[in-house]
Amino acid sequence: ETGVTQTPRHLVMGMTNKKSLKCEQHLGHNAMYWYKQSAKKPLELMFVYNFKEQTENNSVPSRFSPECPNSSHLFLHLHTLQPEDSALYLCASSLPGDEKLFFGSGTQLSVL
């Protein structure tokens, strides 16, 4: 256990549903990240938050909406997703300026 917890572990949703992914860390980190992991592709960085402020949006479609209410929690709100959005969504955290990332176990998302 590295201190980064993601829920739910699995999620199946229809294209018209609205759902949210949750990430929580108790490591005292101030930087949090969302990554998308698809089969046979490199991890894709989606969003970065530093001290609750979004510092990176890697050209992610607006159907993905992040929220960072405090340094310990990160959400990814999902709506009107497409089947190609099916993937493993990983959350990570780090100390600012530290290149070592701590990852959660991810949410395996299936969009039907």
Partner 1 sequence: AQTVTQSQPEMSVQEAETVTLSCTYDTSESNYYLFWYKQPPSRQMILVIRQEAYKQQNATENRFSVNFQKAAKSFSLKISDSQLGDTAMYFCAFIDSNFGNEKLTFGTGTRLTIIP
Where on the chain is the footprint of partner 1 (CB under 8 A)? 2, 31, 33, 40-43, 45, 48, 55-56, 58, 88, 90, 92, 94, 96-97, 99-101, 103-106, 108
Cα 48 from Cα 9, distance rounded (Å): 21
Whichever of 33 and 78 has its CB closer to partner 1, that residue is 33
Whichever of 13 and 101 has its CB closer to partner 1, that residue is 101
Whichever of 65 and 108 has its CB closer to partner 1, that residue is 108
Cα 87 from Cα 62, distance rounded (Å): 17
What DSSP character marks residue 86?
-
| Residue among 106, 104, 108, 105 at smallest CA distance from 4 | 104
Residue 73 Cβ, how far from partner 1 at the closest point, in Å? 18
